[in-house]
Amino acid sequence: MNSRPPLSNSRALLITAGAAAAFFILLMIIPGPHKNRTNSPSPAVGPTGSTEAPAGLFATRCSQCHGLPALTHRSPEDWRILVLKMNRYMKQTGRLSLTDAQAQEVTRYIVENQK
């Protein structure tokens, strides 16, 4: 026979709140790359309407671990996947990384400038 009474609602609530608080504190303690670096909020858009950012993003982000990669020909899809993989590495190792939009811009830059 189960003689223990079920958790009262308020007790369960307290435990849940406590666990949530502990988890939140843990998140705050764990150091990590802070997403919102105080970059200029809007990307610089040149007079031609094309952003200048992608070339700079490519140069700064993609040279953090190896030399700037040669842009040998790959399909756009291959580059897209590769940039996503590299961006994952950047996040995992706490380096400067790319937002989703920036990753797309860099991918487009690469595809347009590859040999």
Identity of the residue, 25 or 65, whose beta carbon is nearer to ligand HEC in the bound complex: 65
Which of 34, 66, 73, 115 lies at the binding interface for ligand HEC (CB under 6 A)?
66
Identity of the residue, 13 or 59, whose beta carbon is nearer to ligand HEC in the bound complex: 59
Which of 76, 95, 101, 114 lies at the binding interface for ligand HEC (CB under 6 A)?
95
Q: How far apart are CA 99 and CA 91, in angstroms?
A: 10
Q: How far apart are CA 99 and CA 61, in angstroms?
A: 11
We find the least distance from the C-beta atom of residue 100 to ligand HEC, in angstroms, to be 13
Stretch that binds ligand HEC, among 8-16, 22-30, 34-42, 58-66 (CB under 6 A): 58-66
Binding-residue total with ligand HEC (CB under 6 A): 15
Nearest partner of 71 among 114, 103, 41, 40, judged by Cα: 114
The gap from C-alpha 87 to its chain's centroid, in whole angstroms, comes to 7
* Residue 99 in the binding site for ligand HEC (CB under 6 A): no
- Burial category of 97 from C-beta neighbours within 10 Å (exposed 0-12, middle 13-18, buried 19 and up): buried
Q: Is 24 helix (H, G, I), strand (E, B) or coil?
A: helix
Residues of the shown chain interacting with ligand HEC in the complex, contacts defined by CB under 6 A: 61-62, 64-66, 69, 82-83, 85-86, 89-90, 93, 95, 106
